[in-house]
Amino acid sequence: MKLRVVLSLFISALFFVSVNAQETTDEDIAERIKPVGKVHVAGAAPVAAAGPRSGKEIYDSACVACHTSGVLGAPKLQVAADWQPRLDEKGFDQVWKNAVNGINAMPAMGTCNSCSEDDIKIAIEYMIEGI
C-alpha cells in the first residue's frame, strides 16, 4: 500500500519535471547559456568590460605594471616630478593623445584593448591626481 503511494508520487513528480522541460523555450536556453560578462586580456591582466570603470580601476588593470615602478622611464603614479614637466611642456591634451597613440616605449592605449580614449583620459587624470 505504502509503496504504491510513494510510486505514484514519484511518477507525478516525473510528469511535472517533463512538462516543465517542454515549456523551456529556445530563448530560455539562450538566456541561461549567455556569457556573464566579456573578458578582455590587456597585457597580463584581465580587464572586465562591463560597466563604466573609474580611472583607478583602469590604471590598476592596464597601466600599473609600468607606471608604478617607472619601467622604461614611465612617469610614476601621482609623482609630480615625473608628470609636471610633461604637462608643462606638452599640455594635458597632448599627453593624453600620446598615451592613445603611443610614444617611445609607451604602447598605444597602454595595451588596454577594452579602453576607449576617454578611459585613457580618466586613467591619466587618476595618475596625476593630487600632484
Which residues, numbered 94-113, are part of the site for ligand HEC (CB under 6 A)?
Answer: 95, 98-99, 103-107, 110-112
User: Would you count residue 77 as binding ligand HEC (CB under 6 A)?
Assistant: no
Candidate list 38, 73, 116, 125; residue touching ligand HEC; CB under 6 A: 73
Grid coordinates representing 117 are 580614449
Residue 45's Cβ-count burial label (10 Å; 0-12, 13-18, 19+) is middle
User: Would you count residue 114 as binding ligand HEC (CB under 6 A)?
Assistant: no
Question: Residue 126 CB, nearest distance to ligand HEC (Å)?
Answer: 8
- DSSP symbol at 51: S
Which residues, numbered 22-51, are part of the site for ligand HEC (CB under 6 A)?
Answer: 43
Residue by residue, DSSP assigns 54-103 as -HHHHIIIIIHHHHTTTGGGPPPTT-HHHHHHHHHHH-HHHHHHHHHH-B
Residue closer to ligand HEC, measured from CB, 19 or 115: 115
Is 40 within 8 Å of 46 (Cβ atoms)? Answer: yes
Helices (H), 24-63: 26-33, 55-58
Candidate list 74, 77, 82, 114; residue touching ligand HEC; CB under 6 A: 74
Residue closer to ligand HEC, measured from CB, 38 or 73: 73
Q: Which residues bind ligand HEC (CB under 6 A)?
A: 43, 58, 62-63, 65-67, 71-75, 86, 90, 95, 98-99, 103-107, 110-112, 115, 120, 123-124
